[in-house]
Structure 1
Amino acid sequence: MINVTIEMNAAATILKLLGDKTRLTMVKMLDTNDYCVCEFVEIFQTSQPAISQHIRKLKNAGLVKETRRGQWIIYSLNKDTEYYPLLQSVLQQLPNQDDRLKALERQGLRISCE
C-alpha cells in the first residue's frame, strides 16, 4: 500500500465537498457505477441544474471525470486522483447505494449508452 499524504487545505476542501449529503451519495454511487446527469436527476428527484452544479464541484476538485459516449456525458469517480485514498477511507464506512441503481433499472430509466 502506498502512503500518500495530502496537504491539509486540500483535505479540508475535499471533506467539505463530501459534507453535502447529495454529493457524498453521488461519490459513493460513482465508486461502483458510472452515471449521467439525467440518471442522478431521477434518483435524487431534483433539477438538472442542481445535479450539474454538484457534478461541477466534484469535477473541479478532480474527484469526478467525464467521458462522452455518443450524445451522453458519463461521469465516473476519478480513481487516479491523489485524493482517492482519502475518498476510499470515507466511502468504505458508508452503506452500499446499489439499490438506487436497481430502482432506476426497474423504472426503465437507466440509460444505455451503447
Structure 2
Amino acid sequence: MEFSTIEIEKAATILKLLGDKTRLTMVKMLDTNDYCVCEFVEIFKVSQPAISQHVRKLKDAGLVRETRRSQWVIYSLNKESDVLPFVQSLIDHLPKQDFKLQELEQQGLRISCE
C-alpha cells in the first residue's frame, strides 16, 4: 500500500508529537485508563500548565478528547481519531504504564471524579 504525501505528513506530525517522552507515556497510559490533569501532575511531577500544554497538543492532533465531570476535566483517547490505528500500532509495543496509576492509588492521590 502506498501512502500519499498528506498521510506521510500526518504520520511525521504524529511521530514528532509522540517523540516527547511525556506525551508518549500519556498516550500509553490513556490506552487503559482516563485521567485528570491533576493526576498527570502528580505522576509526572511537573506543573499543571506544562501538563495542560502536553494535553492540548494531543487534543489538537485529535488523539485525546476531554469530558467534563462537574469541576473535573477527564482526558481519554479519542477512539474515533483517524490516526489512532497508527498510534495504537506503536503503543502496543510499549510496556504497560498501569503501575503509575497504582502508585497514585497507594498514595491516596487517585482522583474520584464521580
Do Structure 1 and Structure 2 share a fold, with TM-score over 0.5? yes
In structure 1, the partner of 2:35 is 35
In structure 1, the partner of 2:23 is 23
For 1:78, the aligned partner's letter is N
TM-score (norm 1): 0.94
The size of the alignment, in residue pairs, is: 111
1:94 corresponds to 2:89: no
Per-residue deviation, 1:111: 0.5
Per-residue deviation, 1:45: 0.4
Q: In 2, Cα distance between the equivalents of 1:26 and 1:89?
A: 16
In structure 2, the partner of 1:44 is 44
Name stretches of at least 5 consecutive residues in structure 2 with no aligned partner. none
Q: In 2, Cα distance between the equivalents of 1:112 and 1:95?
A: 26
In structure 2, the partner of 1:72 is 72
Q: Percent identity?
A: 74
Question: What do the CA deviations read for 1:91-114 (whole angstroms, capped 9, x no partner)?
Answer: 111000000000000011111011
Moved over 3 A (4+): none
Across the aligned residues of Structure 1 and Structure 2, the Cα RMSD in angstroms comes to 1.3
1:9 corresponds to 2:9: yes
For 2:13, the aligned partner's letter is T
SS at 2:29's partner residue? helix
For 1:13, the aligned partner's letter is T
For 1:18, the aligned partner's letter is L
Q: In 2, Cα distance between the equivalents of 1:31 and 1:80?
A: 13
TM-score (norm 2): 0.94
Per-residue deviation, 1:58: 0.2
Per-residue deviation, 1:79: 1.2
Q: In 1, Cα distance between the equivalents of 2:78 and 2:16?
A: 18
1:61 corresponds to 2:61: yes
